[in-house]
A and B are shown apart, each in its own frame.
Chain A
Amino acid sequence: MQGSSDQQAYDRGTTIFSPDGRLYQVEYAREAVGQGAPVVGVRGEDSVVLAAHAPERSPLAADGDTEKVSAVDDHVAVAGAGHAADTRQLVDLARRRAQRERVRYGERAPVDELATVVADHLQEYTQTGGARPYGTALLVAGHDDDPGLVEIDPSGATRSWRADAVGRGASDAVETFEAGYGPALGADDALALAVDGLSAAVDEVTVGAIDATLVTADGTQRVGEDRLRAAGAGAS
């Protein structure tokens, strides 16, 4: 590893600040996110789209229909960029909390509440001795009274966005969103913008490699290949 022996001492443990106030392990976790397959989210007027792009690494891969965007209860979907196994744990945490909310209160968990619960969990791992932070950033898309899109980063910080991207090429996707986002996007417009964002983030977008989910007042709905093609995704 590069750097002075001083710096090495500060990146040994998550719980140790460097003298200039940084948590190196958390920053390294963000690096892991930046290397992950990209995930984008776009909030429309009545809907929010989550789309992920992860092509198969080999034609021998047998689980051709790998879940990249995960449904969490009727009204929320989650996708993560970074370590897939870390994401999987967080998705299950969100699912359990969503159902526990229904048992406890008889209501659906608000999207912001679910995001905060997951973020609190991530935060614990920036402060717990002997543990490492999660190497994943999540986009949480949901619909309470209105559509919502929240990003959770490895530090446990949350932020709401109209359109957002995490993972490889995220800054290119965000530039596309900044140029193309307008008020009152319909579901198909939001989907098209999400596909544009993915196209900017990766060299070649194929329909088969995109997993997209649309969240509306009616619930979560996986987007089929025909609709993805209509939204401008290239043929596979």
Chain B
Amino acid sequence: MTPTQQTDASTAGSDRHGRRPLHERDPDLVDDTGDAGNAAETGTTVVGVTTEDAAVLAADQRASVGGGRFVTNKDTRKVEQIHPTAAAALSGTVGHLQQFVRVLRSESRLYADRRGDPPSLTALSTLAGSILRSSPLAVSPLLGGVDDEQGPAVFTLDGGGGVLVDDYAAGGSGMQLAYGVLEQDYEPGLSPVDARRIAARAVESASERDTASGNGVTVATVTREGVDTAEYDAAGEVA
């Protein structure tokens, strides 16, 4: 890093490149040089389902090491609000996904303060993709949100920065098991309650067989009014 870049991070006057996102000005925020060898991973099953007016995200609550060999935490929060009308369901290394959430949340807020309105889903998902593309963060999130341009939508993101939009999606180590439920039960025009139940059932089904998933379900419902998050011990409790 050149001396110019170092001052660039802390001063306005030397910002010769305009109003860039935080992570471009200050790559340390998303740069990871540490050894992730024994870091806790979520393993995880994450699911996203859209309805006419909402995007529903769900995830299990287990963190583990050794690919689910040992459970290190039984109450891990893997669905986080990152925007007034968007949330992320996260799988990957715990530390990486926590940093990803902090950076994306701040970028979203900075965008809103600068421009008056929060980013659209297109802008938010593109930004999230470019953060992942430009950093070694081992995170594969699903984004779910609602905006005026495209209504409710779910995006799958990968470590290479790929961004793909879909009506429903799953991710994490329990992905195949969750997709089994989604392919059976998803249909367009679900009610929000049905969408929450299907998403939770997909997570629960994966938790039965994937040792890196389990210990309950977090379900977030994103509408134009905001993000509503609830936690359940079992899919049957979902309302």
Q: State which of A93, A103, A124 has its C-beta within 8 Å of the C-beta of B29.
A: A103
A99→B114 contact, CB < 8 A: no
A8 within 8 Å of B by Cβ?
no
Q: State which of B19, B106, B113 has its C-beta within 8 Å of the C-beta of A71.
A: B113
- Give the A-B contact count at a CB cut-off of 8 A: 50
A125 within 8 Å of B by Cβ?
yes
Chain A nearest CB, measured from B3 CB (Å) = 14
B11 within 8 Å of A by Cβ?
yes
A73→B13 contact, CB < 8 A: no
A205 within 8 Å of B by Cβ?
no
B167 within 8 Å of A by Cβ?
no
A73→B11 contact, CB < 8 A: no
Chain A nearest CB, measured from B105 CB (Å) = 7
A121–B12 Cα distance when bound, in Å, is 8
Q: How many residues of A contact B (CB 8 A)?
A: 21
Q: B99: which A residues are within 8 A, CB to CB?
A: 103
Q: State which of A72, A74, A89, A102 has its C-beta within 8 Å of the C-beta of B102.
A: A102
A229 within 8 Å of B by Cβ?
no
B106→A92 contact, CB < 8 A: no
Q: B107: which A residues are within 8 A, CB to CB?
A: 99
Q: B11: which A residues are within 8 A, CB to CB?
A: 93, 121, 124
Q: B12: which A residues are within 8 A, CB to CB?
A: 89-90, 92-93, 96, 121
Chain B nearest CB, measured from A50 CB (Å) = 15
Binary contact readout B9-30 vs A (1 if CB under 8 angstroms, 0 otherwise): 0111100000100100110010
Closest chain B residue, CB of each to CB of A128: B13
Binary contact readout B100-122 vs A (1 if CB under 8 angstroms, 0 otherwise): 00110111011001101000000
B19, B22, B99, B116 — most chain A CB neighbours (10 Å):
B22
A70–B115 Cα distance when bound, in Å, is 11
Q: B103: which A residues are within 8 A, CB to CB?
A: 103
B25, B99, B114 — most chain A CB neighbours (10 Å):
B114
Q: State which of A90, A95, A125, A131 has its C-beta within 8 Å of the C-beta of B110.
A: A95
A95→B113 contact, CB < 8 A: yes
A100→B106 contact, CB < 8 A: yes
Q: A102: which B residues are within 8 A, CB to CB?
A: 102, 105-106, 109
List 9 A-B pairs, minimum CB-CB distance, nearest first: A99-B106, A93-B12, A89-B12, A103-B102, A99-B110, A95-B113, A103-B106, A102-B106, A103-B29
22 A–B pairs (Cβ distance < 8 Å), ordered by A: A70-B113, A73-B109, A73-B113, A89-B12, A92-B19, A92-B114, A95-B110, A95-B113, A96-B110, A99-B22, A99-B109, A99-B110, A100-B22, A100-B29, A102-B105, A103-B29, A103-B102, A103-B103, A121-B12, A121-B13, A124-B11, A125-B13
